[in-house]
């Protein structure tokens, strides 16, 4: 509970981070068949950016 002031939850994977220096990224992403906009963690950002690049290169 000591990290509560900095608690942040990824909008995509739902993972909770307590690091005050943690960087989040605003992204559009698909979840449950709907397009959402939210702040995601670095790992989700990589996955989103990677899939976006693949779509553009069809």
Query: Can you give the binding site for Zn ion, defined by CB under 5 A?
Result: 10, 12-13, 40-41, 44
User: Where do runs of H (alpha helix) occur along 8-56?
Assistant: 42-56
Which of 23, 16, 26 has its CA nearest to residue 3?
Answer: 16
Question: Which CB, 8 or 13, lies closer to Zn ion?
Answer: 13
Q: How far is the CB of 5 from Zn ion (least distance, A)?
A: 20
Find the length of the chain: 58
Question: Which CB, 46 or 58, lies closer to Zn ion?
Answer: 46
Question: Which CB, 3 or 23, lies closer to Zn ion?
Answer: 23
């Amino acid at each position: 509970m000591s990290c509560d002031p900095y608690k942040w939850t990824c909008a995509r994977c739902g993972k909770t981070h307590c690091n005050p220096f943690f960087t989040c990224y605003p992204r559009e992403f698909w979840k449950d068949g709907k397009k959402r906009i939210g702040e995601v963690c670095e790992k989700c950002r990589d996955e989103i950016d990677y899939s976006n690049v693949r779509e553009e290169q069809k």
